Amino acid sequence: MQKLSKYLYYVICFVMFLFMDLTASNYLAVHHHRLGWNNPVFELTYIKNTGAAFNLLNNSTELLIILSAVALTLLCVYIVRHIKGIKMLELFYIAILSAGIAGNMHERIIYGFVRDFFRLNFVNFPVFNISDILINIGVIFLIVIIILKKSK
């Protein structure tokens, strides 16, 4: 029963974060980019990104879709193989990471590019989207969890 509840927890978190990502991204990218909304911290700037972070693999949509599918598959295989030893907090961050990957993959499949729209005004940094935020949160916290496990 504990394994089933962990799987269910992961699926619910994944679906919740993916739904939030896709609906918020659509709203911000489609409706607010025309307003040119900005403040001292960030502005909404609509950009069609055909590559990965920092313009890596530009115009490699098919390759990025394949890499996303492989990453999602590996995360699912990891969960299935190690579900007993995975804590709920770890599942939470794996779900965040998975939702971010799935969100960008969805946009690449549907649009042929990823819609980026957050531009930071206080630093020279590439424009990014909610999926990118989810991926970074997931990776950072999973790294922290791994480091804390290793130090014990």
Mean pLDDT in residue range 2-16: 95
Q: What is the pLDDT of residue 134?
A: 97
Range of the domain at 78: 2-139
| Residue of 17, 132, 134, 138 marked active site | 132
Residue 36: band (very low, low, confident or very high) from pLDDT cuts 50, 70, 90: low
Q: Is residue 50 part of a domain?
A: yes
| Residue of 21, 90, 107, 116 marked active site | 116
Q: What is the pLDDT of residue 42?
A: 83
Among 4-13, 28-37, 88-97, whose mean pLDDT is lowest?
Answer: 28-37
Kindly tell me the burial class for residue 47, based on how many C-beta atoms sit within 10 Å of its own C-beta (0-12, 13-18, 19 or more): middle
Q: Is 33 or 124 the better-scoring residue by pLDDT?
A: 124
Q: What is the pLDDT of residue 34?
A: 58
Retrieve residue 16's tokens: 């919740």
pLDDT above 80 (res 37): no
Residue 1: band (very low, low, confident or very high) from pLDDT cuts 50, 70, 90: low
Q: How many domains does the chain have?
A: 1
Q: Is residue 107 part of a domain?
A: yes
- CA 102 from chain centre, in angstroms, equals 7
Q: What is the pLDDT of residue 35?
A: 55
Block residue for tokens 């950009």? 47
Q: Known catalytic residue: 21?
A: no
What is the overall mean pLDDT for the chain?
Answer: 90
Q: What is the pLDDT of residue 52?
A: 87
Query: Angle of helix 2-27 relative to helix 88-111, nearest 10 degrees?
Result: 40
Q: What is the pLDDT of residue 117?
A: 84
**Angle at CA of residue 121, ends 93 and 44, nearest 5°:** 70
Decide if 108 contacts 64 (C-beta within 8 A): yes
Q: Known catalytic residue: 132?
A: yes
The Cα–Cα gap between 22 and 75 comes to 20
Provide the residue type at 114 as one letter: V
The Cα–Cα gap between 23 and 134 comes to 14
Q: Is residue 151 part of a domain?
A: no
Q: Is residue 144 part of a domain?
A: no
